[in-house]
Amino acid sequence: MTKRHITTSLALLTGAAVLFFGLNFLLNPDGAPDGFGIEPWPQGNAAGYFVVKGVRDLAVAATVFLLLARGQRRTLGWVVLIDAILPLGDALAVLTHGGSLTTALSVHISAASVVLLTAVMLLTERSADRPEARGAVRQPAAR
């Protein structure tokens, strides 16, 4: 398995994970928060947080899958690097709102680590790793 295959797999995993989390918060608001790490969970209007988190995660997943499908691997690397802010922010929320250090580290910091690894791998791909650099002839622009 080449580095490119591993990187693509990590990018797919990154997108699939946030897709799952987003759908879970939207479709299973009673069960999804259990693994997030903050107790007690919002009641009443504050429960709208679940919709916000779910939609946020769906937007992140859509961005990852779109850039991967379009072959925009370098741009995807920058987007994934920026997206690492999300699990870091989630860890901070857990730590500052009564959650445990164990949950912050095992759930959110571990996720941030995978996201950062994926970003670094995407951003350090050599041009020889890209299909257009492996013998594909570029057509000149139409005049």
Residue with tokens 């790793």: 129
Amino acid at 92: L
CA distances 92 to 54, 82, 122, Å, are 18, 16, 26
pLDDT for 130: 54
What gap in Å lies between CA 40 and CA 110, rounded to an integer?
23
Q: What is the enclosing helix (H) or strand (E) of 1?
A: none
The pLDDT tens digits of the residues spanning 64-112 come to: 999 999 999 999 999 999 999 999 999 998 899 888 999 999 999 999 9
CA dihedral of 85, 87, 79, 20, whole degrees rounded to 10 = -160
